[in-house]
Structure 1
Amino acid sequence: MGRARKIVSGIAIAAVLGGGAYWLTRPRIIDPAKIASAESDVALSEFPERVLFGDTHLHTDNSIDAFGFGARLGPEDALKFARGDEVTSTTGVKAQLSRPLDFLVIADHSDGLGVTRRLYDAPRFAIRDKTLRRWRDMMHESPQQSVRATSELIAAAGAGTLPAAMLDPARRDESTAEIWGNQLKVLDRYYQPGKFTPIAGFEYTLQPDGNNLHRVVMFRDGIERTSKIRPYPGLVSNVDGLFDYMDGYERATGGRVLAIPHNSNLSNGLMFELTDAAGGPMTAEYARRRGAREPVVEATQIKGDSEAHPFLSPNDEFADFGKKGWEIGNLTLSFPKKNDMLAGEYLREALKRGLSIEQQTGVNPYKFGMIGSTDSHTALATGDEDNFFGKHTGNEPDKIRAIAPQNLGTRVGRMGWNYLAGGYAAVWARANTRAEIFDAMMRREVYATTGPRMVVRFFGGFEFSSETFKGDWVRAGYKTGVPMGGELVASGAKAPRFLVSALKDPEGAHLDRVQIIKGWVDASGTAQEKIYDVAWSDTAKRQPVNGKIPAVGDTVNRARAAYTNAIGAAELRSVWTDPDYTPGQRAFYYVRVLEIPTPRWPLFDAVRFGVKLSPEALADAVAQERAYSSPIWVGPAARNTADRKTGQRRLAGR
C-alpha cells in the first residue's frame, strides 16, 4: 500500500513553518518553451463556449494531515485520477472517475509540507522531542492511532502549542524545496494544453485558536516562475503577510497569483469581518487589497456548505443544506459556535456586508465569485455521491464510515455522514489552459456545484427580452450585457434584466427550480435579501402558494439508493426583470439551481455494505444537490477600483 519511502535524518523532521525567505536560489526549469508552444497552439474561442469542471483544493500524501491520516497517494496519482485513469486508493480499492476533470490544483498544506512522512520515516532514537517521539510511535502503532496523533498535531497547531522543533526556521529548507520542485515537475509533465490542466498551488493554513482562516493559493504560471519561490506558511503569520508574499511574487517574477478562502463556516465569524486583519477599522486600502487578492471564494466542499444559513435567512427553505455537524463549533471544536458569529461566516451575508462596507468606504472587499471544490485528503478528487472516497483515508469506502465519529479522530459531535461528497469548480474559460482558467477566476466568470455537472449561464443587462432566447442568446449576453461575475452600471430608471439558463448534468438528476437571490442595502442602511423563483419544472402542477413554489416531490427509493427522473426538467431558462428595483440602488444578484432529491453517499453505503443508518443519518440521506453562480453587481457606477489586470480584460468580441 503506497510507495517506498526514503529514510531521512531525524533532524529533517521540521517543516517549512515560520517567517523568513521563501525564494529558492536554483530554479528547476523543465523546458518552458515547449509548454509555451503547446499553449500557443490552443485556439481561443471568441467568448467562453464550454464550461470546464475541476477541483482547486486537493491534498496528497505531502500534506501533514493527509499522510498522518494514512494517505499514501502522491501528486502523480492525483493527476492520473483527475484526468480519468484508474488508480488504486490507499486502502486498496480501485478508483476511477466516470468522467475526467478538466483541471486540478494540488493544494498541499504549506505548513509542515511532508513533515509527517519525515517523522514516520525518522529513526526513533534520533527524535529528541518527547511529543514528536510519541506521535511517531502512534503513527507506527495502527491506522487509528495515526489518525489520533495527527488530530493532536492539528489541535496543537490551532492552539499554538506545536513542539519547538517543528517551528525552528533553521530546519526548513531542502526537504520543502525538494517536495515543491518535484511537484512542479510532475504538474508540467501532465499538462496537456487544451485537454487537461494541472495548476500549481498550496494551502495557507491560518487558524488562530482553531478558527479556520485557510486559503488555497493558486498560480497562473508554470515552473519557470513558480520554481523561484516556495509555499508560504500560515500558522505563524497573518493574512497581510500572505498578501505581501503574493505582491512580492508578482513583482519579482511577473507572474500572477490569487487566493481562495474556504470553510468560512468553521471560522467562528472571523472570515468575513467588518474590520481589517488586525481588528482595526475597515479602510478603503485594506478593502481594495482584499478584493483584488481574493476574487473567488469556495462556497461548498466536504466540510459543509457555506452559501447561506437558516438563522441569517429564515425565509429560505433551502438554506439548511450541508450544515449538520459543522455549525457546532470552529475547525478544531476548541470553541463552540454562537449565533452572533454566523454573519461573518456565510457567503450571502458577506456579499451583503460588502455592499455596506462599500457604502462607507467606497470599496467592496467582498465582491467575490463562487466555486466549489473537494478538500479531499485522499489524492482522489471525486465529488460524486456514488463514488465518494471520503475526506481522508480513514473514511474511504467501508462498513462503518457513515456511522462512526469522524472529527479528526479524537473529538465528538461530528459523524461520518456529516461530510459532503462535493464539490467542483465550474469555469467559463475560452480554452483549457492555465492562463485562461486563471483569468476566468479573476473576472469571476465561475460557479460552484456540490458535485453534479449542471451547465449554468447567467447574464445581466438592460436590453434583454423574451425574444433573446430565440436567437444566439449567448452572444447577445456578451455583446449587450455582462456574464456572471460582472458589474452593470445602472441606466436611468431601467430595472436590470437577466438571462438564466440551466441544463441538467447529462449523467445526473433533473432540475427542480432556478432561483435568483438578490441582496441590497436599503435607504436606512440595512442590508436586505430576497429570493425569487424564476423558473421551475412541472409548472402546470406547481403554481405558487403564498408566494412559494410547492416541493418538486421525491422519487428516491431508500432501500435501493436509487431515484428516477419522472419529475423535474432537463432544462430551465428564464428572462427575468427585477420587479422591486429602485433606481440608484446598489445590489447583487446570483443564481441558485436545485436538482430534484437524490441519494447521498451514506445511503449508497448503506445499500452497498448492508449498514443500518441511525435515524439522524437516514433523515439526512437524501438531498437536493445544487449550483451557485457568481453574482452580478448593479449600481450607479463602479466604485471598486481593485486592479484585476488580465483577468478583467475585455473578452474578444465583447
Structure 2
Amino acid sequence: MKLLKWLLGIIFALVLVLGSTALWLRYEFQRVQHTPLDETTWDKVSVESLARVNEETNACDQLYPNKKAWFGDLHVHTAASYDATSFGVTTSVDEAYAFARGTPLRIKLMQDSPEDQPPALQIRAPLDFMAVTDHAESLGETRLCYTDEAVAYDTLVCRLYRGDIRIPAEARLQSLFRLASFAIFGQDRSARVCGYDGEICRRTAESLWRDNQRSTEAWHDSSVDCQFTTFHAYEYTLAESAANLHRNVIFGTSTVPQSPLSAKDAPEPEELLKWLDTVCLSGNENCDVIAIPHNSNWSSGRMWFPYSNRDIPIEEQRALAHLRARTEPLAEIMQIKGDSECRNNIGSVIGPTDDLCNFEKLRPANETIPDCGETFGSGGMMLKGCTSRYSFVRYALSAGLREEQRLGVNPFKLGIIASTDTHIGASTAEAETDYRGSHGNDRNIQDRLLSKVEVPGDIATGSPVRFNPGGLAGIYATQNTRRDLFKAMRRRETFGTSGPRIAPRFFAGWNMDADLCTNKNVVELGYRQGVPMGSDLPVAPADARGGPVFVASASRDPAEDSNPLQRIQIIKGWVDQLGNTHQAVFDIAGAEPGAAQVDRNTCKVSGRGFSELCGVWQDPEFDPKLPAVYYTRVLENPTCRWSHVACLSLPEAERPASCSDPELPWQIQERAWTSPVWYHPTP
C-alpha cells in the first residue's frame, strides 16, 4: 500500500510539473493574433523626409548622353534583420554601405572570442548604388531582445533567440533554432515580446527604420561628384504555405512612410501594393516607390499566378492588374538562393530544351517535378511540391501578354535586375573564387559545402552548397543620381548579371541598319533608330521591311582577370491563339558552345572568347498577329563554380560528400540578362 501511495505521489507530481510546464510555455509563447489590415491606421502613417538637405541636386560633373551602365545592389541585409542576427552577424547598416564603397569588412560573428580573426572581405570595385533592405518583419523584436532594459529581454523567446538557452543539438544547428524562435510565429507576433496588442514591436521597428534612413542619407553623395547613390528601402517578407512571396520596397526619394508595413500587418502582397499606392504614389507628391519581387523560384507558382485565373470578379481582376503594373515594374531574376529565369521540363511550356536554364538551381536540374499547370502549389521554400511556369520570369513575361489580351493591362510587364540578398552586409557577387558565404553560419568552408540543412519547424530547407554569391543590378542612366536611376528603373532600362560587370545593350526597331554593329556610333543610332530595353516597339511604319530588327551588344567585365564573353542570345516568349506558352532561343553573336573550355583540375580557362560582341537579328518566325516579348542573355565562357574551387582547396580526405555529387554542377557560365522589348499587333 505504501508503494502504491508512493507511485501515485510520483505520478501526481509529474502531472503537476508537466501541467505547469505546459501552462508556462503557453504563457511564454502567447501570440498577438493577426487581425485584418487596419487601413484607417496605416493610411494615416506620416510620410516625410528625415533628410536635412535639398532633395534636388545640381547636374553631375559627369554626364553621359547615351547613358552609362551603373552597377549596384538593391538587396542587402544587415544585423537589423532577424535572420542575419540569428546567424550571429554583427554588420551594421553603415558598415554595409562602407563595404560597398571599398572598405574591407571582417565577417565578425557574435560568438567570436576576442582572439578570433574573422575572415576579411573587400569588394573588387566600389558599387555605384545600393539599398539596405532589412526585413520589416521582426525588426522591432530583434532590437528588443538585445536591449537590456527592455521588458522583453528576459522572456523565453528572447533568451532562445539570443542563444542564452541552447537546444540539445550540434553547434551548427543552434543558429537555425534561434531563427525558428521567431519564425514559428508566422504572421503573428509574440505577445510576451511585443505586448498584447503588438504595439511595442511596431514602435521599435519605426525607430530602427528611422536609424536606417539617417544612415542611408549620410552615405548618399548629393554633390556634383555623384560617386554613390543610396535608396531608402526595406524587405516585405511574406511566405504562404511555405511558398515565397517576398518583395523589396525601394523608394525613389528621401520622403518615405515613417512606418514600414510588414507581412505581419499586410498578409497579401496586394495589400502592400495598395498601401504604397495610397500613402506614397497617390498620397504624397514627393514620394515615389516600387516593389521588386524576388526568389519567384521558391514561390510554387504563386508569384505570378494570373489574375484572370482567380475566382474574383473581372472588375477586381482588372483593378489588381493595373495596381501591379503601377507598382511592380521590375523583377529580381538572380540572387544567392538561385536563378529564377526559367526551368526545363515544365510540361506546360512548349519549345526546345534550353540547357542554359539549368543554371544555379536549388532543386537539381534533373529532378522530375510535376507541373502545377493552371493551379499553384505549396512547399517551394522546402524544395518540395510541384513546379510552375508562374514561378519563373521568362514565363511570367508570356503570361503578361495573355493577361493583357484578357484584361487590357499587363500586370507582369517586368524589367530585369539581379542582386545578392547577402545576409552579412557584403555585396560580394563577383567573389566566385573567394566566396565566404552569405549568412554567417556558412562562414566556415565545410558549412558552405553542406548539401542540405532543414530549418526547424518545416519553415524552409537550405542547401548551402547550392547557394551562390548572387548577382548585381545594372541601370542605364545619364548620371548617377537618385532621380535618374529611379526613372530608369521605372522605364525598365535595367539589366541583371550573375556577378561579373558585363554591360549589355539591347535595341529594337523596324528599319534599323543591318550593318549597325560595324558603326562606332551603334549606341547613339540604336536610340535614334529604335527603342531600348524595357520599351514597347512602336507601331510598324508603312515602309517596314518585314519584322522588327533587334540589335544586341555587350562588353565584358573591365577587370583585368575577367572572363571573356562567349555569345549573345535572344530569347522569345509568346502565347499562341489557344493560350499555350512558347519559348525559343536564338544565338545571334559570338562563338558556338564548346569553343572555350575550363580544366576541371586547375580551373584554367582556354579557347576562343571576346571582349565585345554585337549582333543584328530579325525574327525568322515573326507572326505579326501574335504579341511577343524578347530579351537578351549574354554568356561568358565557362568557369569553375565556387563550390568546385572550394573543394579543390581541400585535401581529398577532408572533402565533404557534395564534392563528389554528380548532380551538383562543377562549372558554370556567368551571364547577364537585359530587360525585354515587347511587340504588340496593330489594333
Shorter chain as denominator, the TM-score bin is 0.7 to 0.9
**Contact persistence 1:153–1:162 (CA under 8 A):** no
Task: Give the alignment of 1:20-419 within 5 angstroms.
Answer: 20=38, 21-22=41-42, 29-33=50-54, 36=56, 39-42=57-60, 45=63, 47-91=65-109, 92-122=118-148, 130-137=156-163, 144=172, 146-153=174-181, 155-158=183-186, 160=187, 163-165=190-192, 168-193=197-222, 194-222=226-254, 225-226=255-256, 228-237=257-266, 238-247=268-277, 248-254=279-285, 255-275=287-307, 280=312, 283-312=317-346, 315-325=353-363, 333=381, 336-339=384-387, 342-384=388-430, 385-403=432-450, 405-408=452-455, 414-419=462-467
Q: Give the aligned residue type for 1:552.
A: A
Shift of 1:196: 0.7
TM-score computed with the length of structure 2 as normaliser: 0.82
The one-character-per-residue Cα deviations of 1:548-583 (angstroms, maximum 9, x if unpaired) are xx4334223x334x3235332222110111111122
Q: Give the aligned residue type for 2:237.
A: T
Match of residue 604, structure 2, among 546, 563, 577: 563
Shift of 1:602: 1.4
Q: Give the aligned residue type for 1:306.
A: S
The aligned residue for residue 644 of structure 1 is none
**Contact persistence 1:374–1:424 (CA under 8 A):** yes
**Contact persistence 1:138–1:146 (CA under 8 A):** no
Rg comparison, structure with higher value? 2
In structure 1, what is the Cα distance between the partners aligned to 2:664 and 2:47?
56
- Which SS does the other structure have where 1:177 is aligned? helix
Alignment gaps of 5+ in structure 1: 1-10, 543-549, 639-654
Q: Give the aligned residue type for 1:264.
A: S
Shift of 1:523: 3.4
Alignment gaps of 5+ in structure 2: 1-27, 110-117, 370-376
The one-character-per-residue Cα deviations of 1:591-615 (angstroms, maximum 9, x if unpaired) are 0111111122212322444452532
The aligned residue for residue 513 of structure 1 is 567
Shift of 1:483: 0.4
Task: Give the alignment of 1:520-531 within 5 angstroms.
Answer: 520-531=574-585
In structure 2, what is the Cα distance between the partners aligned to 1:330 and 1:63?
25
**Contact persistence 2:596–2:607 (CA under 8 A):** no
Shift of 1:143: 6.7
How many residues are matched? 605
The one-character-per-residue Cα deviations of 1:203-257 (angstroms, maximum 9, x if unpaired) are 00121122110000000002xx12x522111134212211122111233332100
Shift of 1:352: 1.0
TM-score computed with the length of structure 1 as normaliser: 0.85
In structure 2, what is the Cα distance between the partners aligned to 1:524 and 1:405?
41
Shift of 1:346: 0.7
- Which SS does the other structure have where 2:89 is aligned? coil
In structure 1, what is the Cα distance between the partners aligned to 2:537 and 2:33?
44
Shift of 1:147: 1.4
In structure 2, what is the Cα distance between the partners aligned to 1:46 and 1:121?
48
Shift of 1:260: 0.1
**Contact persistence 1:139–1:145 (CA under 8 A):** no
**Contact persistence 1:79–1:190 (CA under 8 A):** yes
In structure 1, what is the Cα distance between the partners aligned to 2:289 and 2:553?
31
In structure 2, what is the Cα distance between the partners aligned to 1:203 and 1:232?
10
Q: Give the aligned residue type for 1:73.
A: T
In structure 1, what is the Cα distance between the partners aligned to 2:181 and 2:669?
36
The aligned residue for residue 675 of structure 2 is 630
In structure 2, what is the Cα distance between the partners aligned to 1:374 and 1:335?
20
Instruction: Tell me whether 1:473 sits opposite 2:502 in the alignment.
Output: no
Decide which moves more: 237-246 or 403-412.
403-412
Cα distance 1:125–1:47, how it changes in 2: closer, same or farther (>3 A)?
closer
Match of residue 554, structure 1, among 597, 614, 633: 597
Shift of 1:334: 5.2
The one-character-per-residue Cα deviations of 1:42-65 (angstroms, maximum 9, x if unpaired) are 157464432011110000000111
Instruction: Tell me whether 1:596 sits opposite 2:617 in the alignment.
Output: no
In structure 1, what is the Cα distance between the partners aligned to 2:423 and 2:674?
26
Shift of 1:128: 7.5
In structure 1, what is the Cα distance between the partners aligned to 2:580 and 2:363?
31
The one-character-per-residue Cα deviations of 1:128-171 (angstroms, maximum 9, x if unpaired) are 8655544444577897454122442465244x565444663322
Q: Give the aligned residue type for 2:212.
A: Q
Cα distance 1:213–1:350, how it changes in 2: closer, same or farther (>3 A)?
same
Cα distance 1:127–1:472, how it changes in 2: closer, same or farther (>3 A)?
closer
Shift of 1:488: 0.5
